Amino acid sequence: MGFWKQIEPATLNIIRVTRTQSFTKTDQVPHSASATVLQPIDEFLLFMNYLSLGLMQKDLAHRFRIH
């Protein structure tokens, strides 16, 4: 939690790029990607699980109950 408290203020500056945006190079965000389901701390935990454990995306989606 100490590390999270250090980086939490920077979460306001996160720029999210969807897969659709990266392929089409447009500024339009698809409706389904316009809102994030997870809280920033949960996104961080998901990312850290992905890095440290090397879990597959389907496994992470199941664990965090997201699509």
Assess whether pLDDT exceeds 90 at residue 52: yes
User: 30 lies in a domain?
Assistant: no
Question: Containing domain of residue 66, as a range?
Answer: 36-67
Work out the burial of residue 32: count CB atoms within 10 Å of its CB; fewer than 13 is exposed, 13-18 middle, 19 or more buried: exposed
Q: What is the CA radius of gyration of the chain?
A: 14
Look up residue 49 and give its two tokens: 């699980």
Cβ neighbours for 11, distance < 8 A, ≥ 6 positions apart: 40
User: 47 lies in a domain?
Assistant: yes
- Bigger pLDDT: 36 or 65? 65
Work out the burial of residue 55: count CB atoms within 10 Å of its CB; fewer than 13 is exposed, 13-18 middle, 19 or more buried: middle
Tell me the whole-structure pTM to 2 decimals. 0.62
The pLDDT of residue 17: 72
Assess whether pLDDT exceeds 80 at residue 61: yes
User: 2 lies in a domain?
Assistant: no
Structural domain count, the chain: 1
